[in-house]
Each structure stands twice: as C-alpha cells, then as structure tokens.
Amino acid sequence: AQKVTQAQTEISVVEKEDVTLDCVYETRDTTYYLFWYKQPPSGELVFLIRRNSFDEQNEISGRYSWNFQKSTSSFNFTITASQVVDSAVYFCALYNAGNNRKLIWGLGTSLAVNP
Amino acid sequence: EAQVTQNPRYLITVTGKKLTVTCSQNMNHEYMSWYRQDPGLGLRQIYYSMNVEVTDKGDVPEGYKVSRKEKRNFPLILESPSPNQTSLYFCASRALAGSYNEQFFGPGTRLTVL
C-alpha cells in the first residue's frame, strides 16, 4: 500500500528559528517520486520540489532544504531562519506509475511562524 | 502563460441545485484530475482523466460527475449538491509522456452548500 505520513499536524515557531517538517512514506515500488507543496493562507498549491527515488542527494534552495533518506523512507523539509511569510500548510506527496498515476498526499503540516 | 483555470473561485449554493465548476488548461496535458480538500482529511482525488473521453473514479467520486469532451476542459458537475460537499476543490493537469511530470494546480474553488 502507498501511504504518506506527516506526523506533525501543527508547528509553531518564532521568526528566525529553524524548523523541520517530517514526511515518511510507504511504497513497494523501486521507482517513485516525492514532492513537497506549500499552501499559503490564500489557498493555492505551490510546488516546491520533486525528488525521484534514484536521487538521494540532498537539495538546498535558499532557506529551504530537503533530506531524502531511502533507508528510513523519509523526505524531510527544513526551513532555515524561518520568516512570517513561511506560514502555510505544507504537504508531502508520493507518486508511482502503478497507482492510477495519482499523487498520494500526506495530511499536511500547518506551520505558523510568529514575529 | 501555462496555467490551469477554474471558475468560479467562490460559490455559495443551496442543497439540490445543480452546479458545474469549470476547469481548463492551456498546456495540452493528457491527464487531468479533481481533488477536494477538507480539514484533517488532506487532498482526496474525486475523478481523473487520462485523455479525451477517458475518465475514471478516484477515491471519493460519490455525488460527482465529470466529462472530458475536449482535451483542455474537465468540468466537475454536482447534480444535486449536499452540505457534505462543502469543500475546497482543486483541478490539476499534467503531461503523461515520459517520467513523472509536474502537476499544475488551478487556484481552487471554495464551495459552500447550504
């Protein structure tokens, strides 16, 4: 069965703190893709990153970084020096071609960054 | 500009009054789908379509219909809306050729059924 677990429902931090959002996935496939999306209060879904199962290199994009570890089936997302504008719901998602080609979504982590 | 558009963005209606939420994409994508998002339940797929005239049920299809007469359009139809269909709806599209391609989302339609 395919499954994505985001154990943290809500996180609250103070601006400039670092914060890590956890994502654990389950799949039997060897080829799959993992994603993070951001949903700000305005409601739209913003694509952040895609990682395929053969690429375990960590990714850094400005204050954002992602740690993909196949050994623990995790794809964690860290925001360094958080800002108020980072306040949003963050979704992790899993895709493999064998599952009607759809994304399997985690339930999301609501991040509040307070000034 | 590559985009997925949805209309209306906001809709308040009453139980039983048929409605259609339109979705259109300008990227010539084969795959289109509809999701609903509810607090605590995340995003759940309602219907999807692999190409024109090819549609299939997702995880929560009850109470919804779709059609795919043209490649660019994928309307979501609620024949007899009920209050439990109050939700935030997203349309999405992506190309199917090759490995996984980025999924593009519409801006969302916030539906309230009274």
Question: In this model, does residue B20 exceed pLDDT 80?
Answer: yes
Summarised one tens digit per residue, pLDDT across range B35-76 is 999 988 999 999 999 999 999 999 999 999 999 999 999 999
> Measured between CA atoms, how close is A43 to chain B, in angstroms?
7
Q: Which of B55, B56, B100, B101 to mutate to test the interface with A (most CBs of A within 10 A)?
A: B100
Chain A hits for B3, CB-CB cut-off 8 Å, are: none
pLDDT at position B101: 76
pLDDT at position A3: 92
Split at pLDDT 50, 70, 90, the class of A106 is very high
Q: Which residue of B has its CA nearest to A103?
A: B45
CB burial string A22-58: b at 16+ within 10 A, e below: bbbbebeeeebbbbbbbbeeeeebeebbbbebeeeee
pLDDT at position A56: 83
pLDDT at position A99: 59
- Token digits for A13? 């931090």
pLDDT at position A9: 95
The mean predicted confidence, pLDDT, of chain B is 94
> Measured between CA atoms, how close is B43 to chain A, in angstroms?
6
pLDDT at position B85: 98
> Measured between CA atoms, how close is A15 to chain B, in angstroms?
26
Number of CB pairs, chain A paired with chain B, less than 8 A apart: 44
**CA A2, CA B101: separation in Å to the nearest integer?**
19
Summarised one tens digit per residue, pLDDT across range A19-31 is 999 999 999 888 8
Summarised one tens digit per residue, pLDDT across range A89-104 is 999 999 877 656 678 9
Question: Lowest mean pLDDT: which of A10-14, A54-58, A89-93, B18-22?
Answer: A54-58
Contact between A23 and A81 (Cβ < 8 Å): no
Supply the DSSP string of A25-53, one letter for each residue: EE-S-SS-EEEEEEE-TT---EEEEEEET
Cβ distance B102 to A50 less than 8 Å, yes or no, reads: yes
Summarised one tens digit per residue, pLDDT across range A28-84 is 888 899 999 999 999 999 999 999 898 888 888 999 999 999 999 999 999 999 999
